[in-house]
Structure formats: structure tokens, C-alpha cells
Amino acid sequence: MSLDDLVDTESAPETVVVDCDLDAPPEKVWRALTQPELMAAWLAEGDIKPQVGHRFELKSEIGPVECEVLTADPKRELRLSWSERDEAGDLVDSEITFVLTPTIDGGTRLRLVHDGFVHAGFLVMAIGRIVPRKPVRRLEWVYAWAA
């Protein structure tokens, strides 16, 4: 499955949901989502803190993304406001939710929900780093949760 299979570039912004099973337990996945040095390994640099109301900027390859922590339920759910520019340069506000569910084998089912998805935006790259394109997951994500 490629990113082109996941992204509809023709219609208006919508909700995108990506589920993926990870071999790491929820506490390690939570750290990869909420510790700045680990998030930088798979997504982008930014001063994230898992505290409701915390504002930070992600320094993405295609421009800054302004974020605010809306929900921070350790090892369960992280919800962020997400503000970035679309291809036309217009500011688009959306929300990103990461839901972590423990699996019976000790891993984590990670559900990423992007409400108000920006088709050519920064999250397309993030999805590419989470969703395996080959049988082996991308190393950036594996290194982040292994810490």
C-alpha cells in the first residue's frame, strides 16, 4: 500500500483514519509521541509536552505547524490542534488524535485520526513514517519507540 492509496487529493478536506499495529507497548509508543527528542526522530522537531494547553511549533520540512495539546491521557490518547498552510498558502486548522490501545501480545494498536485533513500537508509525510510500505516499519519510528 502506498501513500497515494491512502490520500484523496481531489475532494475537500475530511477525516483520515490510519490504524497500525506496533510491536511496542503503549508506554513506549506514548514516549515516541510526547518526548521532543523522540518525536523529532520520526516526525519533526518541536517542544511538545503532554500537558493540556501547551502550545508548540513543529518544524516540518515543508513549513511550520502550530500545535496545542487538547487532550493528554497518558498511554491512551493524545489530541492536538494542528494549524498548517495548504498548497495555496492558506492557513488550515484541523485536529490530530493518536489513540493507543494495548494488544493481547503486548504491543499497541495505534489509531491516528486527522479531522480536517490537509491533502498535501505535513501529516502525509507522518503517515508515511507510520504506515509500513514494506514488511519492515520505517526505522525512524522504530528508533523512536525503542528508546
pLDDT at 98: 95
pLDDT at 110: 92
Q: What is the spatial distance between Cα 29 and Cα 13, in angstroms, rounded to a whole number?
A: 27
pLDDT at 144: 55
pLDDT digit string (tens) for the chain, length 147 residues = 444 444 444 545 577 788 889 999 999 999 999 999 999 888 889 999 999 999 999 998 778 999 999 999 999 999 999 998 877 778 889 999 999 999 999 999 999 888 876 555 555 555 555 555 444 444 455 445 555
pLDDT at 51: 98
Give the max Cα distance, the chain. Answer: 45
